[in-house]
Amino acid sequence: MPRRFSNALVLLYILANMVAPLRGDRFSFTGECVAVHDGDTIRVMHKGREVKIRLEGIDCPELGQDFGQTAKMFTSRLLFAKPVTVRVITTDRYGRLVARVSIDGLDGSVELVKAGLAWHLNKLSRDRELSRAEQAARNSKRGLWSHHSPIPPWLWRNRPK
128 catalytically annotated = no
Give residue-wise pLDDT tens across range 114-129.
Answer: 999 999 998 878 899 9
Give residue-wise pLDDT tens across range 59-100.
Answer: 999 999 999 999 999 999 999 999 999 999 999 999 999 999
Tell me the pLDDT of the chain averaged across its residues: 88
Catalytic one of 43, 56, 62, 111: 62
Give residue-wise pLDDT tens across range 96-110.
Answer: 999 999 999 999 999
96 catalytically annotated = yes
Q: Is the pLDDT of residue 47 over 60?
A: yes
Helix (H) or strand (E) holding 44: strand 41-46
User: Cα(82)–Cα(87) distance, rounded to whole angstroms?
Assistant: 16
Confidence at residue 104, expressed as pLDDT on a 0 to 100 scale: 95
Catalytic one of 43, 87, 96, 100: 96
CB proximity list for 127: less than 8 A, separation 6 or greater: 57, 109, 120
Alpha helices, DSSP H only, in the chain? 3-17, 68-79, 108-114, 128-140, 153-156
Residue boundaries of the structural domains of the chain: 3-146
Asked if the 3-146 domain carries CATH number 2.40.50.90, the reply is yes
Q: What is the mean pLDDT of residues 36-53?
A: 97
54 catalytically annotated = yes
Confidence at residue 19, expressed as pLDDT on a 0 to 100 scale: 43
φ/ψ region of 125 (left if φ > 0, alpha if ψ in -120 to 50, else beta) reads beta
CB 27 within 8 A of CB 21: yes
